Amino acid sequence: MNHKHALPVLVYDDDCGFCTWCAAWVVRHGSLDAVGFANLTADDRSRLPDDYEACAHLITTDSVYSCGAAAEWAIARTYPELQPLFCAFRLLPGYSSVRERLYRFLANRRSWLGKILSAESPVGERDQL
């Protein structure tokens, strides 16, 4: 199966205002596209884990990053100057566990965060279809 996208695709919860705001930010400031859960293609959905609605994902040509790894990848694509920092973090024992706990901490507070930072869907070019 051919999994080609012009840009990496951030898959996000388009029912969540905070998630939508984050997706809009990385699309506007980085080199990513975004698609909400509601607008996933069958091909993209087949590449995601069964419980894909549990967190965000980033789909590239040859990989899928989920949850904290997806957020890290999207941040690094949006702010390339942070890539050396992420590379250094990855050398630290336990970094991926800390990254995932931080992601879950924020994800569990997204309704509160959405009161501060929120946007309406759609945000990505593919969401406009």
- The tens digit of pLDDT for each residue in 87-99 reads 999 999 999 999 9
b (16+ CB within 10 A) / e for 22-38: bbbbbbeebebbbbbbe
* Sign of the C-alpha dihedral computed for residues 104, 123, 43 and 32 taken in this order: negative
Phi/psi for 57 (5° steps) reads -140, 155
Locate the domains of the chain by residue range: 9-128
Instruction: Report d(CA 87, CA 85) in Å as an integer.
Output: 5
3-state secondary structure of 56: coil
Q: What is the pLDDT of residues 78-124, one digit of tens each?
A: 999 999 999 999 999 999 999 999 999 999 998 888 888 877 765 55
Tell me the average pLDDT of the chain. 88
Tell me the pTM. 0.84
